[in-house]
Structures are given as structure tokens and as C-alpha cells.
Amino acid sequence: MLGVLRNRTYRHLFCAQVIALVGTGLATVALGLLAFDLAGKDAGVVLGTALAIKMLAYVGVAPLASALAHNFPRRALLVALDLVRAAVAVLLPFVTQIWQVYVLIFVLQAASAAFTPTFQATIPDVLPDEREYTRALSLSRMAYDLESLLSPMLAAALLTVISFHDLFAGTVVGFLVSAALVVSVTLPSPPVQEKRGIYDRTTRGLRIFLATPRLRGLLAVNAAAAAAVSMVFVNTVVMVQALWGMPQRAVAVALGAFGAGSMLAALSLPKLLDRWPDRPVILFGTGMLAVIMLVASQFSSYEALLVLWFLAGVCYSSALTPSGRLLRRSSAPGDRPALFAAQFALSHACWLAFYPLAGWAGANLGVPMTFVLLGVAALAATAVAFLLWPASDPEVVEHEHTDLPLDHHHLREYGHRAGARHAHEFWIDDQHLYWPRS
């Protein structure tokens, strides 16, 4: 899998991603301590509001940023966004009011909402071979898991010699090094697009997403994953400390078990996806996430939780890591930034729905019933994905055009008269507004 790093451009981009993630992880720890410093016992309210602001920025900003991104060279845009994020990290240690935290967090996450889809859409152009791209997706998944595992430990070690304010300096360094690595390579430019209005560019990715059967299924997959894994992220601390009276270290170990399962799946997926199509792998992952939630409702021990969280990590990675392959397969190169932005916004909209539901249900219904509620939600979403995503899902689709003039470039390209049936790699674009009926 590491052979893909022989590509110099991808190697630099991957290193930029890893370093920026470490910096972000340090900022996450520092932000929690800053919130406690400013708000004391109300720090949870501050962090909850900051998380909601993050999700709203992701959902609202990503499509608009994608619509405007075509006006700028990719490399210049990515570097500028890294510099914006570094500037915010510089300012965070100096805030004295809670509202200032909220404003800076919105700016930081808005920049991330523009950066991440643009970065993700660049990788398929750097690695056009699907086998290499699959391995890049697994490496990216591992980078996220390593960040969640290692950043808290690194922060804990640093806090023995520096104050939490100084952790933000690590975030600044991370974003600056990321910018330098992006500057060091030449990035491929997407094809020149026709001039479109701002509304058309903003909604284009969403319209392609919702018009493509496999991507409608992916939206349901996103919902299933968010339903199940919101229980992991929101209520692990409740179970481990409030119900079982265990120390904070036990919370970290439980979350580490989830991350370890996700990393194991990421390592195994390239070979698995060489043998199996995306659909059964993804749907098996979401289906098993639902089963794990329902099984967990019958157990009440820390040891069982560690096993179940490890299995949940395996299934979560299996469900979401291949999603980039579906986006790549479902769009022309020029539409990939818009489509990745749509996936970014829609997936975070699912988290925005299930994060508060997991918290409310855990506080009002109890942990066992919360497991059942979220397990049933994940199972229902998996069933919807199974129905929306056809089992027969070829890349090359036979279809016909009855509304194009005889001299249209698309018909000339394939050498057919108007209305004649022909076949090619199919995705929604200006010549193909609807998916053909099978």
C-alpha cells in the first residue's frame, strides 16, 4: 500500500495532510482547555456550541466555496486556506471572551470546509489509476485514525512542559508546514468549465449527487454511519465515567479501540476492494454497525465495550473509506470538486442530526435504549441504501439521446446519429441530465 508514496506529488500532499491533522488534533485539546479556562463548569456548553458551529460551517460553506474555487489555481487556493487557518490558530490563545472563540472557530472551520473538498478532489487527478487511488484512500483513513489516537497523547506529553496556550503554536506550525508542502509540488488543473451562474455552480454537486443512484445510496450510508458512530463519540465518556466510575484513561483506551479497528480495516481494504465491488463491502459495513449497536444494548461491561468498539471501527472504515471511489466514478474531472463538496456537506449534515440525538437520548432515555434507537436508525438507513443503490451498477451504461442535434459534439464523438443507442462511462453532466432507466 505504501508504494503509492513513490509518486512525489501525492507523497507531499499526504505529508501535508498528516501534519495538518496533527496540528488540528493539538488545537482540539487546547480548545477544550481554553473553554474551561473561560467558562469553568459551563465549558461543555461552549464546546457543544463550537461543535455545532463547526458542522454548520461544513454544511453551509463547502458548496459555496466549491462554486467559487474554480476562479483560483488549486495550489494557490490550498496554500491560502492553510494560511488562514494558521492565522486563526495564532489568535486563539489571546481570546478573552467566549463570543471571540465562536467567531474564530467559524472562520477556522469555514476555511477547512473549503480546503478539504478541494484537497480530496485533487487526489484522483494526481493518481488516475483506480488501484493507486484506492490505496491513497486507505492511507487517508489511516491518517485520520492516527490523528485521533496520537494527537491527544502528544498533547498530554507537551502539557507536562508547556501551557495549553502553547499547544496552539503546534497548530500554527502544522498549517504552515502543510502550506509549504503544497507549494513544493505542481498540481494538475481541472478542465476548464463553461461559465455558469453562482446558483448553478453552488448546487451543481448536490444535483449530480442526488441524480446518481449509487450516490443516493451513499447518502443513506452516511446517515447509517453517523447514527451508529455518534454513539461512540458522544456517549463513550458517559458510559465509562458516569455509569462505571472508571478514570479518564479508560475513555481514551475505549476510543483507541475504535480507532485501532478503523486502522485495521483501512490496511485491509485495498486488497479486499481488488476482489469485491464497493457495494457489498460498504453495505456490509453499515449493516454490521447497526447490529453492533443492537447487540451493545444487551451488555453493560467495559470489556465488552472494548470489543464492540473495535468491531465498530472496522465496520465504520469499511463503510466510508471507499466513498471516494464512488465520487470519482460518478463525475467528470471538472465536476469532482463540486461533488466532493456535496459529499462533505451532506455527510456532515448527517452528523449534525445524529450528534444531538445521541446526546439527548443518552441523557433522557438511558444508554440501553439509546443503543436501540441509534441501531434501528442505522438499520433503516442501510435498508434505504440497499434499495437506492442498484445491485447492477456498471460504469459503462448504454443509453440514447433523443433531444440532441445531429451535429452535436457528443454524438459526433461517439459516431452515432441522434437517438441512436451507445455506451460509455456514464455520469450526470450537461449532456446527461438524468440516469437511464434500466
Give the per-residue pLDDT at 255: 79
Give the chain's domain count.
2
Question: Which of 390, 410, 432 marks a domain boundary?
Answer: 390
The answer to whether residue 425 sits within a structural domain is no
The answer to whether residue 196 sits within a structural domain is no
Instruction: Provide φ and ψ at 90, rounded to 5°.
Output: -65, -40
CA distances from 323 to 137, 159, 282, 340 (A): 9, 37, 8, 10
Residue 425, SS3 per DSSP: strand
Query: Using one digit for the tens of pLDDT, what is the confidence trace for 221-272?
Result: 999 999 999 898 888 878 887 788 887 678 778 877 888 888 888 888 888 8
Q: Tell me how far apart the alpha carbons of residues 208 and 190 are, in angstroms, rounded to a whole number.
A: 17
Give the per-residue pLDDT at 41: 61
Q: Tell me how far apart the alpha carbons of residues 228 and 297 are, in angstroms, rounded to a whole number.
A: 12
The answer to whether residue 66 sits within a structural domain is yes
Domain shared by 174 and 255, yes or no: no
Domain shared by 154 and 260, yes or no: no
Domain shared by 153 and 225, yes or no: no
**Could you read off the pLDDT tens digit of each residue along the chain, which spans 438 residues?**
567 888 899 899 889 888 888 887 777 667 767 776 777 766 656 666 777 788 888 888 777 777 676 677 888 888 999 999 999 999 988 888 888 888 888 888 888 888 888 887 788 888 888 788 878 877 777 777 666 666 656 666 676 777 777 888 888 998 999 999 999 988 877 655 556 666 677 788 889 999 999 999 999 999 999 999 989 888 887 888 778 888 767 877 887 788 888 888 888 888 888 889 999 999 999 999 999 999 999 988 899 999 999 999 999 999 998 888 898 888 887 788 888 888 888 998 998 888 888 888 888 888 899 999 999 999 999 999 999 999 988 877 777 776 767 666 666 666 555 456 677 778 787 777 788 876
Query: Would you list the DSSP string of 290-305?
Result: HHHHHHHTT---HHHH
Which alpha helices (DSSP H) does 297-366 contain, by range?
Answer: 302-320, 323-329, 336-364
Domain shared by 26 and 164, yes or no: yes
**Cell of residue 61, nine digits:** 460553506
Identify which of 140, 146, 145 has the alpha carbon closest to the alpha carbon of residue 122.
140
Residues in Cβ contact with 128 at an 8 Å cutoff, skipping those fewer than 6 apart: none
Give Dmax (Cα) for the chain: 74
**Cell of residue 358, nine digits:** 445521541
Element (H, E) at 422: strand 421-425
The answer to whether residue 428 sits within a structural domain is no
Amino acid identity of residue 125, one-letter, is: D
Residues in Cβ contact with 137 at an 8 Å cutoff, skipping those fewer than 6 apart: 269, 321, 322, 324, 325
The answer to whether residue 255 sits within a structural domain is yes
Element (H, E) at 397: strand 396-400
Q: Tell me how far apart the alpha carbons of residues 391 and 60 are, in angstroms, rounded to a whole number.
A: 32
**Cell of residue 433, nine digits:** 441530465
Domain shared by 281 and 135, yes or no: no
Question: Which of 352, 369, 390 marks a domain boundary?
Answer: 390
The answer to whether residue 415 sits within a structural domain is no
Q: Tell me how far apart the alpha carbons of residues 27 and 340 are, in angstroms, rounded to a whole number.
A: 25
Residue 396, SS3 per DSSP: strand
Going 386 to 392 to 396 to 397, the CA torsion angle's sign is negative
CATH of the domain at 338: 1.20.1250.20
The answer to whether residue 230 sits within a structural domain is yes
Q: Tell me how far apart the alpha carbons of residues 61 and 109 are, in angstroms, rounded to a whole number.
A: 9
Domain shared by 292 and 152, yes or no: no
Domain shared by 183 and 272, yes or no: no
Domain shared by 77 and 180, yes or no: yes
Question: Which of 390, 407, 430 marks a domain boundary?
Answer: 390
Give the per-residue pLDDT at 199: 66
Amino acid identity of residue 106, one-letter, is: F
Domain shared by 253 and 341, yes or no: yes
Domain shared by 151 and 283, yes or no: no
Query: Would you list the DSSP string of 359-377?
Result: HHHHHHT-HHHHHHHHHHH
Identify which of 309, 7, 40 has the alpha carbon closest to the alpha carbon of residue 132.
7
Give the per-residue pLDDT at 83: 94
Q: Which domain holds residue 83?
A: 1-189
Domain shared by 155 and 12, yes or no: yes
The answer to whether residue 406 sits within a structural domain is no
Q: Tell me how far apart the alpha carbons of residues 217 and 197 are, in angstroms, rounded to a whole number.
A: 29
Q: Tell me how far apart the alpha carbons of residues 227 and 149 are, in angstroms, rounded to a whole number.
A: 22
pTM (2 decimals)? 0.80
Going 105 to 111 to 114 to 118, the CA torsion angle's sign is negative
**Cell of residue 50, nine digits:** 463550537
In this structure, are residues 154 and 22 in contact, taking their beta carbons and an 8 Å threshold? yes
Give the per-residue pLDDT at 337: 80
Domain shared by 3 and 124, yes or no: yes
